[in-house]
């Protein structure tokens, strides 16, 4: 596998950056997670917009234009002859001295693009039966701290929630915000279904997920009402259906929260319908950028 590193393609074992890179020392950088389905990069421009917005928000100048970045991503897939893949662009502040001040970074930002053959996140079995989740005691960061809409390299908060899930033997953790409303999963957005309507938290204490936005569009096309609203843990516990969305997770049903069954404790009809619809819109020119012309 070859990795794009600052303009060059290097073998994965040689893809290394400085121990003085502020991305490593301080988590000072941004990233994206993109999927390619059957030769088409899903919603590439939306991911590029979010990457550049995240970089702007932390005052990081990406040394490539958006179209140069798009070309670099496509080239990484071509060099590795990939059609179905998970792509991870990362931009860090670059090497500097041991102070936090970004002005002390003497190099350019480091640009890394990793593309791997796609493998199912939870495994086929878990995705089909649905996920068992816990509500983490780790809260989602409030927007007046480091905004959760910045996809930065500071993921420790989410990792702490994920560690809670691991200790509990659960597949995923759901985080509440500091007011006690449901925020998001450790690496995905959360939806509930109640009386045929969908609810998902507004993107205040969660990442504006691209799968989230896609599911909202799909649901509205299906004439399913979608409410972007705050809801509590009790609404989560008493939901008819619940699912998470993410680039890696796609739409994954949740069948258990804190050992309580969600609805009937199995995949519900609206979740199933959205999963089916989602499958029809990936790997096609209408939503994807072709990798091989
Ligand atoms: N919330 C958070 C905190 C995320 O990190 C999402 C929601 C979903 O967004 P998209 O745009 O992918 O629908 C993410 C996704 C992984 C992984 O391995 C996923 C993310 C980051 C790191 C790892 O699934 N981001």
CATH number of the domain residue 67 falls in? 3.30.470.10
Q: Is 285 inside a domain boundary?
A: no
Q: Measure CA of the first residue to CA of the last residue in the chain; give whole Å.
A: 22
Of 80, 98, 117, the last residue of a domain is: 117
Give the residue from 197, 194, 200 showing the smallest Cα distance to 230. 200
Does residue 153 share a domain with residue 78? no
From the CB of 250, is ligand 1 less than 6 Å away? no
Query: Distance from the CA of 88 to the center of ligand 1, in angstroms?
Result: 11
Structural domain harbouring 241: 124-278
Does residue 246 share a domain with residue 134? yes
Kindly report the CATH number assigned to the domain that includes residue 233. Answer: 3.20.10.10
What pLDDT, on a 0 to 100 scale, did the predictor assign at position 128?
Answer: 76
Does residue 135 share a domain with residue 244? yes
Does residue 222 share a domain with residue 201? yes
What pLDDT, on a 0 to 100 scale, did the predictor assign at position 177?
Answer: 97
What pLDDT, on a 0 to 100 scale, did the predictor assign at position 33?
Answer: 98
Q: Is 46 inside a domain boundary?
A: yes
Does residue 135 share a domain with residue 43? no
Does residue 130 share a domain with residue 80? no
What pLDDT, on a 0 to 100 scale, did the predictor assign at position 100?
Answer: 96
Q: Is 272 inside a domain boundary?
A: yes
Of 68, 95, 117, the last residue of a domain is: 117
From the CB of 33, is ligand 1 less than 6 Å away? yes
From the CB of 245, is ligand 1 less than 6 Å away? yes
Residue whose entry in the numeric block shows the structure tokens 């969600």: 262
Counting the structural domains of the chain, the total is 2
Does residue 90 share a domain with residue 136? no
Q: Is 293 inside a domain boundary?
A: no
Does residue 172 share a domain with residue 110? no
Does residue 238 share a domain with residue 129? yes
Q: Is 183 inside a domain boundary?
A: yes
2, 116, 151, 277: which is the annotated catalytic residue? Answer: 151
Q: Report the chain (293 residues): mean pLDDT per 10 consecutive residues.
A: 98 97 98 97 98 98 98 98 97 97 94 93 78 97 93 97 98 97 98 98 96 98 98 97 96 97 95 96 96 91
From the CB of 177, is ligand 1 less than 6 Å away? no
Is 151 a catalytic site residue? Answer: yes
Q: Is 78 inside a domain boundary?
A: yes
Of 71, 101, 117, the last residue of a domain is: 117
Q: Is 283 inside a domain boundary?
A: no
Does residue 272 share a domain with residue 134? yes
Query: Measured between alpha carbons, how far is residue 10 from residues 15, 32, 79, 291 in Å?
Result: 6, 20, 11, 20
Does residue 78 share a domain with residue 12? yes
The pTM of the whole model exceeds 0.75: yes
Q: Which residue has the least CA distance to atom 3 on ligand 1?
A: 187
Q: Which residue has the least CA distance to atom 22 on ligand 1?
A: 187
Does residue 77 share a domain with residue 132? no
What pLDDT, on a 0 to 100 scale, did the predictor assign at position 124?
Answer: 73
Q: Is 288 inside a domain boundary?
A: no
């Amino acid at each position: 596998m070859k990795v794009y590193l600052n303009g060059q393609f290097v073998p994965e074992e040689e893809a290394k950056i400085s121990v003085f890179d502020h991305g490593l020392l301080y988590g000072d950088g941004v990233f994206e997670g993109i999927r390619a389905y059957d030769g088409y990069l899903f919603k590439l421009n939306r991911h590029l917009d979010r990457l550049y917005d995240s970089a702007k928000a932390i005052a990081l100048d990406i040394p490539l234009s958006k179209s140069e970045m798009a070309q670099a991503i496509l080239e990484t897939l071509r060099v590795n002859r990939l059609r179905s893949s998970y792509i991870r662009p990362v931009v860090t502040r670059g090497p500097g001295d041991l102070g936090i001040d970004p002005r002390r970074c003497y190099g350019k930002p480091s640009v890394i693009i990793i593309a791997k053959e796609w493998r199912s996140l939870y495994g086929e079995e878990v995705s089909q039966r649905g996920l068992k989740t816990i509500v983490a005691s780790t809260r989602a960061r409030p927007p007046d701290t480091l905004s959760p809409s910045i996809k930065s390299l500071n993921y420790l908060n989410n990792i702490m929630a994920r560690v809670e899930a691991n200790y509990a033997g659960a597949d995923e953790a759901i985080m509440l915000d500091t007011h006690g409303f449901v925020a998001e999963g450790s690496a995905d957005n959360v939806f509930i279904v109640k009386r045929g309507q969908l609810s998902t938290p507004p993107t205040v204490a969660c990442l504006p997920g691209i799968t989230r936005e896609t599911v909202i569009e799909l649901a509205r096309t299906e004439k399913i009402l979608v409410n972007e609203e705050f809801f509590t843990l009790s609404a989560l516990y008493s939901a008819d259906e619940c699912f998470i969305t993410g680039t890696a997770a796609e739409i994954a049903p949740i069948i258990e929260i804190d050992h309580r069954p969600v609805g009937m404790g199995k995949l519900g009809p609206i979740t199933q319908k959205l999963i089916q619809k989602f499958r029809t819109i990936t790997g096609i020119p209408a939503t994807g950028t072709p990798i091989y012309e």
